[in-house]
Amino acid sequence: MKTLTLMEPGLFEFSDTTLPTDLGSAEALVRVHRIGICGTDIHAFSGKQPFFTYPRILGHELGLEVVAIGGEVTNVKIGDRCSLEPYINCETCIACRRGRGNCCANMRVLGVHGDGGMREQFVVPARKLHPSGILDYDQLALVEPLGIGAHAVERAGLEQGEFALVIGAGPIGLATMQFAKAKGAEVIVLDINDARLAFCQEQLGVSHAINGARESAADRLSDITGGDMPTAVFDATGSPRSMMASFDYPAHGGRIVFVGLFQGDVSFNDPNFHKRELSLMASRNAHPADFRHIIGLIESGRIDTTPWITHRVTFNEAPTHFPSWTNPETGVIKAMINV
């Protein structure tokens, strides 16, 4: 079985590994058809991913086919096309007991803390599979990144008519914008890449775009909101400079949601934070219900994933092309690997 492993930062190696044969009663053997590449994979390749050790098999945005199932599995059957919820939670810690398995105290994310899907077949807990009889493998691989944005918007409790600022127009920022718009918010995007800003406006219908490299973000936000400033600010950059600057953007009584993360500390001016009674939240992963909801939205045509995939390669070609995907100048929104 062909397997692609990230041996160390910047170094992929193919190997021939043993096809899985042991299948637990609550597990499923899946065949990998699509692998989406995300910021987590890029950061791991660059040696900048928190909670990460090498060597590691990457890949957690997956379009899968069920090949075999254990005797207790009822939610999927052989031949089903599925999206994978790659967050393996313990089901017993305080977060899991309170229905927040997305931030499990013993979390293992496939492709991050444990090996993921850059291989032809592997075994997963069947409860983490979300089937669709309509969606293709490309669409199923995009459900997970969409779930990150959906959960971030839910964390913020976003309401219709609010001004919502999304900082960072990468895939997670795009997903956040998509669900902020679905809530009826007036969405503003802040980035330094003109091509990505244009994509947000032309493909997602985002109303306002700010290039932070050429104009004062605070001044433009004040102009757009009539002096009020956004009531919700989502930072999807994973950049410490951007995350710390985001404290200057919310309205009085507003909130900040950190969707991205980095290896380090965040600092901010407490009087500036305190006088506006800001709320600061982290957003991690997504819930099972998010996966089912998003699959339904794509099936019904309410979410169109067509514009997302800008680059596509075969499994054999992936190591050659991967370094270029770390360069913003290549214009990657979502790279997809056909296995």
Residue 299: inside a domain: no
Give the H or E element holding residue 175: helix 171-182
Residue 300: inside a domain: no
Q: Are 277 and 253 contacting, i.e. CB atoms less than 8 angstroms apart?
A: yes
Residue 291: inside a domain: no
Residue 288: inside a domain: no
CA atoms within 13 A on the CB side of 124: 34
For residue range 234-263, list pLDDT tens digits in order. 999 999 999 999 999 999 999 999 999 888
- Spatial CB neighbours of 50, under 8 Å, sequence gap ≥ 6: 261, 262, 263
Give the H or E element holding residue 125: strand 121-125
C-alpha 326: how far from chain center: 16
Whether residues 12 and 110 fall in one domain? yes
Q: Write down the pTM of the prediction.
A: 0.94
b/e code 229-242 from CB counts within 10 Å (16+ = b) = bbbbbbbbbbebeb
CA dist list (Å): 227 to 218, 244, 323: 10, 21, 43
Whether residues 94 and 64 fall in one domain? yes
What is the reported pLDDT for 330?
87
Residue 133 in 3-state DSSP? coil
Residue 289: inside a domain: no
CA dist list (Å): 32 to 7, 37, 59, 306, 314: 21, 14, 10, 20, 12
Dist. CA 211–CA 194, nearest whole Å: 7
- CATH code for the domain of 235: 3.40.50.720
- CATH code for the domain of 326: 3.90.180.10
Residue 33: inside a domain: yes
How many CB atoms are located within 10 Å of the residue 284 CB? 19
Whether residues 118 and 188 fall in one domain? no
From 282, 297, 319, the end of a domain falls on 282
Whether residues 166 and 270 fall in one domain? yes
Whether residues 164 and 113 fall in one domain? no
Dist. CA 124–CA 215, nearest whole Å: 47
Whether residues 153 and 278 fall in one domain? yes
What is the reported pLDDT for 54?
96
Residue 294: inside a domain: no
| Structural domain of 174 | 149-282
For residue range 147-159, list pLDDT tens digits in order. 999 999 999 999 9
What is the reported pLDDT for 273?
97
Whether residues 155 and 256 fall in one domain? yes
What is the reported pLDDT for 50?
76
Whether residues 12 and 108 fall in one domain? yes
Whether residues 313 and 277 fall in one domain? no
Whether residues 114 and 233 fall in one domain? no
Whether residues 188 and 74 fall in one domain? no
For the chain, residues with pLDDT lower than 50 are none
Whether residues 32 and 122 fall in one domain? yes
The DSSP output letter for 68 is E
CA dist list (Å): 89 to 43, 94, 97, 188, 262: 23, 11, 11, 34, 22
Domain count, the chain: 2
Residue 92: inside a domain: yes
Q: Are 251 and 218 contacting, i.e. CB atoms less than 8 angstroms apart?
A: no
In the numeric block, which tokens belong to residue 157? 């409790």
CA dist list (Å): 164 to 136, 228, 253: 32, 12, 13
